[in-house]
Structure 1
Amino acid sequence: MDFKESYGIILGELSNLFEKIDEKQVDELIEKINKSEKVFFVGVGRVKLSLEAIAKRLSHLGVSCHVVGEITEPAISENDLLIVGSGSGESLYPLSIAKKAKEIGAMVCYIGSNPNSSMKEYTDIMLRIPTNTKLNLKDELLSKQPMTSLFEQALLILGDSIALKIVNDKNIDMVKLWQYHANLE
C-alpha cells in the first residue's frame, strides 16, 4: 500500500463515519458548552490527546476549559460540564471521574461509541461516534486502521467542527481570536 492509498482509506473512513454522527447530539453538546461556566475534559491515551486539542481550541474561543488532572485544574461545580471521551465507555479512570462529577452536580457528556456502556449511568448527554472499539460491537463501523485510530481522529475533527460551528453561530471575528492564543512563544 502506498501513501496516497493509506490516506485515502483514512479520509474515506472519516467521511463515512461523520455521515453517521447525529447532528442533534452535536447541537445539544454545543448548547451545554455555551451554557457552562467551565468545561472539563477527561480521557486516557490518544483519546486524551484529542480532548486536549479540543480544550485548547475552545479556549481560543473564550471558553474556560480544563483537562482533569492538570496542575491548574480548578474545582468543578454544578454550573460546569465534564466531557468524557472513551470509545468503549468502560475505561476505569474516565468512568470514575464521571461518577464523581455527577455526585458534585456537574453535567456529564459522554463522547464514545458504546451507548450501553457503564458510562450511561453518569451521562446527561451522549454524542455517539459509532466506530470500532475494543468491544467490537455489532453496529460499530469497522476500520482498516490499527486499534481505535478512527475514533481518536474523529474525536479531534469533531472538536474542530464544533469550534467552527460556535464561531459561525456567534459570528465571532476570527482575527480577534488571536487574543486567546498563547503569546509566550
Structure 2
Amino acid sequence: MTYQESHRQIIKELSNTLDSVSEEQVSKFIKLIENADKVFFVGVGRVLLSLEAIAKRLAHLGIRTYVVGQITEPAITENDLLIVGSGSGESAVPLAIAKKAKKFNAKVAHIGSNPNSSMKEFSDLFVRIPVQTKLYLPDEISSVQPMTSLFEQALLLLGDTIALQMVKEKNIDMKDLWQYHANLE
C-alpha cells in the first residue's frame, strides 16, 4: 500500500467513524462541559495523549481543565466533570478513577466504543465512537490500522469538533483565543 492509498484509507475511516457519532450525545456532552466548574480527563496510553490535546484545546476556550495525575490537579467536587477515554470501557485505571469521582458526586462522561462496559455503572453520559477495540464487538467499525489507532484519532478529532462547535455557538472571535495560549514558550 502506497503513502497516498494509506492516508486516503485512514481519512475515509475517520470520516465514516465521525459520521457515526451521535449528534445528540455530543450536544449533551458539550452541555456537561459548559456546566462544569472544572473538567478532568483520564485515560491511558495513546488515548491519554488524545485527551491531553483535548484538555489543552478546551483550556484555550477558557475552560479550567486538568489531567488526572498532573502535579497541579485540584480536588474534584460535585460541580465538576470527569471525562474518561476508554475504547473498551474496561481499562483498570480509568475505571478506578471514575468510581472515585462518583464518590465525590462529580459527573462522569465516558467516551468509548463499548456501550455495555464496566464503565457504564459510573457514567452519567456515554459518547460512543463505534470503532474496533481490543474486544472486537460485532457492531464496531473495522479498521486497516494497527490496534486501536482509529479510536485514538477519532477521539482527538471529536475533541476538536466539539471545540469548534463551542466557538461557533458562543460566537467567539478566534483572535481572542490567543489570550489563553501558553506564552512562556
- TM-score band by shorter chain is over 0.9
Q: Which runs of 5+ in 2 are unaligned?
A: none
2:160 matches 1:163? no
Q: How far apart in 2 are the matches of 1:19 and 1:66? A: 28
2:84 matches 1:84? yes
Amino acid at match of 1:70: Q
Amino acid at match of 1:29: F
Q: Could you tell me which residue of structure 2 aligns to residue 19 of structure 1?
A: 19
2:124 matches 1:124? yes
Once the two structures are superposed, residues 58-78 of structure 1 have per-residue CA deviations (whole angstroms, 9 ceiling, x without a partner) of 000000000000001000000
**Structure 1 residue 108: Cα displacement:** 0.2
Q: TM-score of the superposition, structure 2-length normalised?
A: 0.99
1:104-119 matches, cutoff 5 A: 104-119=104-119
Q: How far apart in 1 are the matches of 2:151 and 2:18? A: 11
Once the two structures are superposed, residues 54-104 of structure 1 have per-residue CA deviations (whole angstroms, 9 ceiling, x without a partner) of 000000000000000000100000000000000000000000000000011
Q: Could you tell me which residue of structure 1 aligns to residue 28 of structure 2?
A: 28
Q: How far apart in 2 are the matches of 1:167 and 1:16? A: 24
Q: Could you tell me which residue of structure 1 aligns to residue 72 of structure 2?
A: 72
Once the two structures are superposed, residues 143-173 of structure 1 have per-residue CA deviations (whole angstroms, 9 ceiling, x without a partner) of 0000000000000000000000000000011
Q: TM-score of the superposition, structure 1-length normalised?
A: 0.99
**Structure 1 residue 28: Cα displacement:** 0.3
| Partner secondary structure for residue 84 of structure 1 | strand
2:107 matches 1:96? no
Q: Could you tell me which residue of structure 1 aligns to residue 56 of structure 2?
A: 56
**Structure 1 residue 129: Cα displacement:** 0.2
**Structure 1 residue 25: Cα displacement:** 0.3
2:13 matches 1:39? no
Share of identical aligned residues, percent? 67
Q: Could you tell me which residue of structure 2 aligns to residue 137 of structure 1?
A: 137
Show structure 1 runs of 4+ deviating over 2 A. none
Q: Could you tell me which residue of structure 2 aligns to residue 175 of structure 1?
A: 175
Q: Which runs of 5+ in 1 are unaligned?
A: none
